[in-house]
Amino acid sequence: MYVINNYNILIHPSEGATERGVFMSTEFSVSLAKIIKEIALEPYFMPHSPEDIAITSMDIDRPGLELTGYLDFFDEKRIIIFGNTEYSYLEQFSAEKQYELINNLFSMKPPAIIIARDHEPTDAIKRSAEENSVPILLTSETTSATSASLITFLNAELAPRITRHGVLVEVYGEGVLLIGDSGVGKSETAIELIKRGHRLIADDAVEIRRVSNRTLVGSSPANIRHFIELRGIGIINARRIFGMGAVKLTEKIDMVINMEQWDAEKVYDRIGMDNTYTEIMGIRVPIMTIPVKPGRNLAIIIEVAAMNNRQKKMGYNAAQELLQSLGMDIDAESIQSKKVETGWDV
């Protein structure tokens, strides 16, 4: 089994990583070049190569008070966006006063300024940008649309993340994270699911990003993307063997399935009334344990689990309906919710 270390190098667990996963660096960055490409910006003035300019803040700045000279809480890591409001405010002043206001802002060395709505950079903006080496980018989009696109992109690229041992697949539109001890059959089950028309996101190392307070998104590290390790066969490329329709780059994590060897002494849940969950990066995710033993068709079981999880999200609980039909008055609020300790909680 291989995992990814902080330098995106494939290493074996015995060489310094662990099967449970590793924390990545706490601060992430994305190049300005990638932002330009992603939201279709036009470079107007670029003092340095956009590949060398790193953006580290998820937030952006629409300067209001900052243009009046109040910079006490200005964050120099944020990209600045100018639109109709900013231009309208600056037009009240003479050219020299405009330069003074702009230069106060640009002297804080923001990473870039985006000018929306096809506005032409004023002489004051161009002069101050050149003096302070602030890149100028243009777009024809509205200020709100540009802000929304940029925030969405930055939230995904700069989200806190961890890399964990497991397999992530998309089953009927549900992101299912398979965890369990090494050799329990996660990769083999993923192959069977792919054969049944579902899609692989990551095998062995799953990079999990917390993109919001309620959402986790999983992906594969770039250097092992689409590869699967099958004991006895070796490494295969799922995209090459099964086609492009068998893989996907990212997927929201909707549920976790813990695969473990069947223990005859253990009592497994046979009704499903209790809502069990685990916590990943502070976000609760539904989890269930599926015992593995010869003769069980795990792919079909996981398909049913994914569909059942979707039904629960839509407000339907089959176990609750059955008990009510048997004359047992089960209130939805009485269904227990408990946390399962899996060693995955972060």
Query: Is the separation of the CB atoms in 146 and 39 below 8 Å?
Result: yes
Give me the residues paired with residue 208 across strands.
162, 218
Question: Which residues are catalytically annotated?
Answer: 165, 186, 204, 270
State how far the Cα of 227 lies from the Cα of 162, in Å rounded to an integer: 20
Output the CA angle 113-117-119, nearest 5 degrees. Answer: 70
Q: Name every residue whose Cβ is closer than 8 Å to that of residue 221 and which is 6 or more positions away in sequence.
A: 4, 8, 163, 202, 205, 207
**Which two three-digit tokens encode residue 334?**
């009485």
Host H or E run for residue 283: strand 283-292
Tokens 């990212």 belong to which residue?
250
Crossing angle of helices 123-132 and 95-106, in 10° steps, is 30
Tokens of 89: 């405010």
Helix (H) or strand (E) holding 298: helix 298-313
Q: Is the dihedral of CA 110, 116, 120, 124 positive or negative?
A: negative
